[in-house]
């Protein structure tokens, strides 16, 4: 009897997997070390993170998730009740995307293939990481200078920090412009340049291709710029 119940259970699982509706974006891969748990495919709906698909892993660390996507946007893969410190972020788009990662380093440095926008984001983050390291270094130096009550050094650090911020803004702007045919461009502007000069934002927006302007992030970026100009009375 137990054997019969087990066979029936596997048959139900197999039927559920085979009858699962697939979208125009298929995300598959392997999370090494994750033998048991539930993976969730999520994306932002306005300001709320919602699950669009999920898969229970029972002894196998391979997975397949899907969604119907109209425009490339950021997605998240989480597991076990959306644990915040265990989140993998990637740029979703139509087609098949392969993601491989390890449980102990989940979301830190995943291998992602099949997303052109993700490739652009990887290039951006590789360089931007240097600016973030510099930012941490400036914070450390500023704290030490203030503890030593060295006002001249504090002023110099503040001035150098502002120069670094400007270099980062210019880098991000030039990078977005040079990738104006990628939805990653307005995403970078929205997430990394939200407090930049409106002229820089306008320069990026004017460089975007028609398709990107009509994308989800392209429309959000235009709305963001319009809001700033309205508030500034321009």
Interval 9-39: pLDDT, tens: 444 444 444 445 578 999 999 999 988 889 9
Confidence (pLDDT) at 82? 52
As a whole number, mean pLDDT of residues 98-107 equals 93
Q: Quick one: which H or E segment has residue 4?
A: helix 2-18
Is residue 138 predicted with pLDDT exceeding 60? yes
Dist. CA 198–CA 155, nearest whole Å:
27
Model confidence at 8, pLDDT cuts 50, 70, 90, reads very low
Judged by average pLDDT, the poorest of 11-15, 156-160, 199-203 is 11-15
Domain definitions of the chain by residue range: 2-113, 118-232
As a whole number, mean pLDDT of residues 144-165 equals 95
Is residue 154 predicted with pLDDT exceeding 70? yes
Confidence (pLDDT) at 46? 82
3-state secondary structure of 56: strand
164-to-138, 173, 177, 196, 198 alpha-carbon distances in Å: 10, 14, 20, 13, 19
Confidence (pLDDT) at 167? 94
Percent of the chain with pLDDT over 70: 88
Average pLDDT over all residues of the chain? 89
Model confidence at 56, pLDDT cuts 50, 70, 90, reads very high
Is residue 162 predicted with pLDDT exceeding 80? yes
Confidence (pLDDT) at 84? 57
What angle, rounded to 10 degrees, do the helices at 216-232 and 198-207 form?
150
User: What pTM, to 2 d.p., does this model score?
Assistant: 0.85
Give 2-113's CATH code, choosing from 2.60.40.1120, 3.40.50.300, 3.40.1650.10, 3.40.640.10: 2.60.40.1120
As a whole number, mean pLDDT of residues 107-113 equals 94
Nearest C-alpha neighbor of 197 from the set 234, 142, 160, 161: 234
């Amino acid at each position: 009897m137990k054997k019969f119940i087990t066979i029936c259970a596997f048959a139900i699982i197999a039927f559920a997997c085979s009858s699962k509706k697939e979208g125009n974006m298929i995300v598959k891969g392997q999370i090494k070390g994750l033998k048991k748990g539930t993976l969730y495919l999520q994306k932002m709906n306005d300001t709320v993170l919602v699950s669009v698909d999920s898969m229970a892993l029972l002894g196998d660390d391979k997975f397949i998730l899907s969604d119907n996507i109209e425009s490339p946007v950021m997605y998240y893969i989480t597991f076990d009740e959306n644990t915040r410190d265990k989140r993998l972020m990637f740029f979703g788009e139509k087609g098949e995307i392969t993601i491989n990662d390890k449980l102990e380093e989940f979301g830190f440095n995943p291998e992602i293939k099949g997303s052109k926008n993700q490739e652009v984001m990887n290039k951006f983050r590789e360089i931007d990481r240097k600016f973030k390291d510099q930012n941490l270094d400036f914070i450390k130096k500023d704290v030490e200078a203030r503890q030593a009550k060295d006002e001249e050094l504090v002023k110099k650090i503040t001035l150098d920090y502002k120069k670094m911020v400007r270099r980062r803004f210019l880098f991000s702007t030039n990078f977005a412009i040079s990738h104006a045919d990628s939805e990653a461009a307005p995403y970078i502007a929205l997430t990394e340049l939200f407090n930049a000069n409106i002229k820089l934002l306008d320069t990026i927006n004017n460089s975007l291709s028609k398709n990107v302007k009509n994308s989800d992030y392209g429309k959000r970026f235009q709305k963001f710029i319009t809001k700033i100009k309205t508030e500034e009375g321009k």
